[in-house]
Amino acid sequence: MEKPAQTEFPIHDLLVRRWSPRAFDERPVESHTLRSLFEAARWAPSSNNEQPWRFITANKRDHEADWNRLFDCLVEGNRRWAFRAPVLILSIASINFEDDGKSNRHAFHDTGLAAENLVLQATASGLAAHQMAGFDVEKARVDLKIPSGYEPVAMIAIGYPGDPAVLPERLRERELQSRSRRPIREWAFWGQWGTPIP
């Protein structure tokens, strides 16, 4: 299902088409396609070229026990629809610079850039991607054996778009409603806080 953004100004078609559906088809995602998503993430920009992102992924078809470990970290609200997604990914940020061990305050920003590259590549590949904050961070840390110095950031469901009819009614309504965003004038300022862009 396509749900293009209604933009105020022209932007790239890939950005217009990217959105976060909850309806997934259960057919598997091919390994080479998954590798392309990670290749896209690999080329994200980062502070000092630190590349602080890490990803733990599981493909339900080939590694169901690993997929279940990721799925079990999700909050109940996300489990209601994410169980159909054939791939789950957890993004993780390395919070210290490798060279001197000092705190990298840009680690979450840079991990988000890598995740966005991954999500845009998913869109370009005909896949749907939905990022989620709703997961148990401590359970993920323990169950996925994430070492200290690394912070779980977001869970991502990946798969081919599905039929919204498979969703519970409330989620189906959200799936079908039009997309919206705050207008630019509310959050982009010129020269100082609160001065609208001309």
Reference 78, options 177, 191, 171; nearest CA is 171
Domain boundaries, the chain: 20-164
pTM of the model as a whole = 0.94
In the beta sheet, which residues pair with residue 92?
A: 54, 152
Sheet of 53-59: strands edge to edge?
Answer: 53-59, 87-94, 150-159, 128-132
The per-residue pLDDT for 1 is 80
For residue range 135-187, list pLDDT tens digits in order.
Answer: 999 999 999 999 999 999 999 999 999 999 999 999 999 999 999 999 999 99
pLDDT at 182: 94
Q: Residue written as tokens 């493909």? A: 59
Q: Cα–Cα distance between 177 and 43 in angstroms, integer?
A: 34
Domain formed by 20-164, architecture:
3-Layer(aba) Sandwich (3.40)
Q: Distances in Å between the alpha carbon of 120 and those of 3, 39, 133, 184?
A: 15, 12, 18, 22
Tens-digit pLDDT profile for residues 115-125: 999 999 999 99
